[in-house]
Structure 1
Amino acid sequence: MQKKLIKINPSDNVAVALVNLVAGEVIQFEGAAITIESDVKMKHKIAMTPFEIGDKIIMYGVLVGKASAPIAKGGVLTTANVLHESAKVTAKTESIGWTVPNVDKWKNRTFQGYHREDGQVGTENVWLFFPLVFCENRNIEILKDIFEKELMKPKENDYQLLLRSLVNSENGSAETAGKSAEDNLFKNIEVKFITHQGGCGGIRQDSHSLAKLLAGYVNNPNVAGATVLSLGCQNLQIQIFKDALNAINPNSKKPVLIYDQQSIGTIEAMLSSVVKDTFAAIKEANKLERTPAPLSKLKIGLECGGSDGFSGISANPTLGVTSDLLAALGGTTILSEFPELCGVEQELVNRCVEDQDGKRFLELMQWYEKTVIDAGSGFDMNPSPGNIKDGLITDAMKSAGAAKKGGTSPIVGVYDYGEYINKPGFTLLCTPGNDVECTTAMVGSGANMVLFTTGLGTPTGNPIAPVVKISSNTPLAEKMPDIIDIDTGGIITGEKSIDEMADEMLEFIINVASGTIKTKAAILNQNDFIPWKRGVSL
């Protein structure tokens, strides 16, 4: 029989409803009878003790709120009787030890990846097109139409005819135009396209931040090379982008083709050059094939979106154990979404190997919270209507569950937005909680795959990195099978353990990294890209 309640930490004074409960129902829990005061939907929280106004709400072993109205034992916690509250953290108080998991069965495993000259290994081989400024978005869209449709389907226009002639010349036949994706001339490479609304019009700092992000995408191991369009007069000058790329990897030998429209002249002249030059570069990049790589070459972003009351019990802890396994194997994992780490700062600071990393984490958190308050809001406004409806009623409650994605391994580095991560182990990256902004940032910092948990469902993907979607509950996986890759709902029903699910997760990761499994987001061609705009517009 499935349990009806679960208490996550022994010190918690609330429990989570694993099934729908009805008023008057009496549940035997931890040796005592709990009478349910009113109907409770599964995923919501039940008071294990009476609360008076101002009493602390403890969940996951940390402070997640305070009572704003009396709550009877067996009563349900709601936004009407609970307010956000989190512990104040000022410094590291202790060093937390780590029990390294046994990885004997994984240490000799490999994935089939694309090896780069700088030692990184990609899970994909992508030729990337993007603009330095939004003024070039139209030309990127033209190139997208040309390259995607000519290599996969017939499409008539002057540039397409140019590319078709090159394809026909390469293949030695006039019958190759309009090949299907399965018959694509290029077997080992994909073409992907990014557009954005930045590069000019905002403060100069925004352009420098965007330059670092785009440079991170070029340096990402999943990218073989890039075609970059510039108008010429924008804030994000070509040299700023080159400087950002050089700062990340001064010895990079990746081909980066840059075109400046105002220097070249007509769109026709520019796009003709782009098509010819890029075709030749893609043909060269297509020569690279997958070869074995150790699991230490994996860089995994950890993300959650559309979270529910089960996310912190099933899907997120599964990612946490997976993260620990990868850290023990010498891989890299990245936890971000700083607004969703509010309330768990003390544990994270104490897990930092270097004191300066703990200090930097707190400084970034304090800066972020101040900017939110200055904008007339606060971290307490973070839970979305969907979060609240499914039991995450305070930011600290949401954060305590979100942080479970980071497991228990030591934190070896703390990074600000746009900084590239080259250090193996578990790391923190300052990003917003917004699904796409966060995923965009982690990939720009080097993630060659993203694990994305959800309790409500979200289609988020990325242009260059596979995004694996993990459901916290089985009804979601059954309702939205077109976006869910892995279902951890068996943890809720008691059919599977977190460790069992983590083993399944790592096996799935190896298959995705090797190209033998395509994620649902990739099948849907879900290529989301939103830079974080920190400043104002001028």
Structure 2
Amino acid sequence: MTDHVGKIIRVHPADNVAVVVEAAGLEEGQTLGEGMVVTARIPQGHKLALEDIEEGGPVRRYGEVIGTAMVAIPQGGHVDETNLHMPTPPALEDLPLATRSAPQVAPLEGYTFEGFRNADGSVGTKNVLGITTSVQCVAGTIDHVVQRIKRELLPRFPNVDDVVGLNHSYGCGVAINAPAAVIPIRTLKHLAQNPNFGDEVMVIGLGCEKLQPSTLVEDRPVKIYENTEAADPEANVLSLQDESFQGFEEMVDGIMAMAERHLERLDRRRRETCPVSELRVGMQCGGSDAFSGLTANPTVGFATDLIVRAGGSVMFSEVTEVRDAIHLLTPRAVDRSVGQALVDQMAWYDDYLSQGQADRSANTSPGNKKGGLSNIVEKALGSVIKSGDSPIVDVIGPGERLRKRGLTFAATPASDFICGTLQAAAGMNLQVFTTGRGTPYNLPMTPVIKVSSNSTLARRWHDLIDLDAGRIATGEASIEELGWELFHLILDVASGRRQVAADRLGLYNDLVLFNPAPVT
């Protein structure tokens, strides 16, 4: 990166725009280095033309074309969505597949964290009781029961961190046998298998729903019991409509008794030293701005490479925030089949958006634009930097579980809540979330480390941000320094030595399923 007197940053030598660093922005008539005069007020994070750009001429950032000029833009002019045409996305045919050799890096050894080992070989970073639901109809009951469990039972089990109700809007009034219904169904099944739940499956249903509760445990060797009087200690499923229940309080008592058995087992778990190879980290961004691709996402990308070097698992996601940079990713696939899988996920989502009479331009939000991102092309080029430089070893569809250690692309929508839900279903035990505009987003079952892209946000949200990557833009720290800082923070949070800000405040978002199938 290069800058002019610390006021603007150009990422790539081929770029003809730079991002304004100054918190107060640049004023019309202000002179920068080499005699450049600012021709209009330009807010922080927005782009300044470094040279005259003729009408129809390419506008470059990250060394890539992010658009063409609608009108002639003078040197020193403001470049934003109002004077840019968005280019077409890269064609999916004939993309280079697995053409780049993997970087030669030494394994990273000797780093560990304190986690909870599970019988299936996975490792948790929290010890949480998860109560899975098969239909939205029981959500109110689960909310009621969760509060009672926290109040009446949890104090007796000091080694259990929390109890979480996995409520959602699915389960009935849906085309349960439609091909795309496999996505929400496998998501729910896999959410219950998240490492932080300690393999303690507990499912509460209504009884008449299309998604029968037993479906969520059908691939597990468990027995189904519908009331507590006849229940075996290993019962995992309870339906509120079971005729043995007389009134609401008996339903609640049944759930409480089941929860107590699971809490007893969870309370016996203890943290033990685990290698970094047991980490499964999800990387996500939300409320992005023009600094995201300069500071926070490169920091995350550096930490991604460290985790991969240590044998761990990292996934990046958000199809619409990858689509316009797909030509930069397919060469990094470990083989042609992985490269083709990337292409197939892009094509599936192109078709999905087309059916909804939308395209990827619908992604960019008013906040993104206020933060200096002109369009989804610029946003995507900054977003994929979270993936670091490691080879992509696998691609999984929405709701599928991680299969390999290393860097995986987990195909998800870019919606913060849907992406987080799908990454949790994939098996992540910790998430890193970058933001430029700010968000209190957090997940109840996995710690979420919040990284700010600019120091203005970090100062304003001092009790919500865990790491300020804006120090890169001001020259106070390098990407490498903050990458290592984030890596060590990940290990501390995974070990329970540090608590993320949103957990301290008790802020948690609802789970949101991705359901591309019809609703009846």
Fold-level similarity (TM above 0.5): yes
Aligned identity (percent) is 31
1:83/1:394 contact within 8 Å kept: no
Partner residue of 1:53? 55
1:21, distance to aligned residue in structure 2 (A)? 1.4
Partner residue of 2:348? 367
User: Which amino acid in 1 is paired with 2:268?
Assistant: K
**Structure 2 CA distance, aligned partners of 1:213 and 1:527?**
19
1:212/1:244 contact within 8 Å kept: no
1:64/1:343 contact within 8 Å kept: no
User: Could you give the per-residue CA deviations for residues 265-310 of structure 1, whole angstroms, max 9, x where no partner exists?
Assistant: 4344433222123202211210110000001110110001111111
User: Could you give the per-residue CA deviations for residues 107-162 of structure 1, whole angstroms, max 9, x where no partner exists?
Assistant: 1121000001121111011110121001111221121121012246xxxxxxxxxx
**Structure 1 CA distance, aligned partners of 2:101 and 2:36?**
36
User: Could you give the per-residue CA deviations for residues 205-237 of structure 1, whole angstroms, max 9, x where no partner exists?
Assistant: 465422211222222111121321111221212
Secondary structure of 1:192's counterpart equals strand
Partner residue of 1:415? 396
* 2:215 pairs with 1:240: yes
Partner residue of 2:183? 209
**Structure 2 CA distance, aligned partners of 1:306 and 1:370?**
26
Partner residue of 1:342? 323
**Counterpart selection for 1:260 from 239, 254, 264:** 239
Partner residue of 1:93? 96
Partner residue of 1:160? none
1:437, distance to aligned residue in structure 2 (A)? 1.0
2:157/2:267 contact within 8 Å kept: no
Partner residue of 2:192? 218
**Structure 1 CA distance, aligned partners of 2:313 and 2:104?**
15
2:129/2:160 contact within 8 Å kept: no
Partner residue of 1:157? none
For the structure 1 residues 138 and 497, does the alpha-carbon distance in structure 2 shift closer, same or farther, using more than 3 Å as the test? same
1:448/1:465 contact within 8 Å kept: yes
**Structure 1 CA distance, aligned partners of 2:103 and 2:478?**
19
Partner residue of 1:117? 119
For the structure 1 residues 256 and 349, does the alpha-carbon distance in structure 2 shift closer, same or farther, using more than 3 Å as the test? farther
TM-score (norm 1): 0.88
Secondary structure of 1:145's counterpart equals helix
User: Could you give the per-residue CA deviations for residues 299-323 of structure 1, whole angstroms, max 9, x where no partner exists?
Assistant: 1100011111111100000000000
1:53, distance to aligned residue in structure 2 (A)? 3.0
2:160/2:263 contact within 8 Å kept: no
User: Which amino acid in 2 is paired with 1:99?
Assistant: P
**Counterpart selection for 2:502 from 516, 521, 535:** 521
Partner residue of 2:74? 72
Deviates more, 1:316-325 or 1:277-286: 277-286
For the structure 1 residues 91 and 299, does the alpha-carbon distance in structure 2 shift closer, same or farther, using more than 3 Å as the test? farther
User: Which amino acid in 1 is paired with 2:475?
Assistant: G
Partner residue of 1:427? 408
**Structure 2 CA distance, aligned partners of 1:87 and 1:279?**
54
Partner residue of 1:134? 136
* 2:13 pairs with 1:10: yes
**Structure 2 CA distance, aligned partners of 1:337 and 1:114?**
29
1:256, distance to aligned residue in structure 2 (A)? 6.9
For the structure 1 residues 404 and 256, does the alpha-carbon distance in structure 2 shift closer, same or farther, using more than 3 Å as the test? farther
User: Could you give the per-residue CA deviations for residues 89-114 of structure 1, whole angstroms, max 9, x where no partner exists?
Assistant: 4234261233344565xx11210000
**Counterpart selection for 1:81 from 64, 77, 83:** 83
For the structure 1 residues 338 and 134, does the alpha-carbon distance in structure 2 shift closer, same or farther, using more than 3 Å as the test? same
**Counterpart selection for 1:532 from 499, 514, 517:** 514
**Structure 2 CA distance, aligned partners of 1:232 and 1:207?**
19
For the structure 1 residues 402 and 256, does the alpha-carbon distance in structure 2 shift closer, same or farther, using more than 3 Å as the test? farther
Count of residues in Structure 1 that have an aligned counterpart in Structure 2: 496
For the structure 1 residues 323 and 256, does the alpha-carbon distance in structure 2 shift closer, same or farther, using more than 3 Å as the test? farther
Partner residue of 2:276? 295
Partner residue of 1:145? 147
User: Could you give the per-residue CA deviations for residues 41-89 of structure 1, whole angstroms, max 9, x where no partner exists?
Assistant: 1211122232233322221122222222221122111221112224334
Secondary structure of 1:193's counterpart equals strand
**Structure 1 CA distance, aligned partners of 2:346 and 2:234?**
37
1:303/1:452 contact within 8 Å kept: yes
For the structure 1 residues 185 and 313, does the alpha-carbon distance in structure 2 shift closer, same or farther, using more than 3 Å as the test? same
User: Which amino acid in 2 is paired with 1:75?
Assistant: G
**Counterpart selection for 2:205 from 230, 249, 253:** 230
For the structure 1 residues 255 and 186, does the alpha-carbon distance in structure 2 shift closer, same or farther, using more than 3 Å as the test? farther
**Structure 2 CA distance, aligned partners of 1:63 and 1:262?**
59
For the structure 1 residues 520 and 144, does the alpha-carbon distance in structure 2 shift closer, same or farther, using more than 3 Å as the test? same
Tell me how large the CA RMSD over aligned residues is: 2.0
**Structure 1 CA distance, aligned partners of 2:499 and 2:201?**
23
**Counterpart selection for 1:194 from 166, 170, 178:** 166
**Structure 1 CA distance, aligned partners of 2:49 and 2:206?**
60
1:257/1:278 contact within 8 Å kept: no
**Structure 1 CA distance, aligned partners of 2:150 and 2:476?**
44
1:332, distance to aligned residue in structure 2 (A)? 0.6
TM-score (norm 2): 0.91
**Structure 2 CA distance, aligned partners of 1:212 and 1:102?**
37
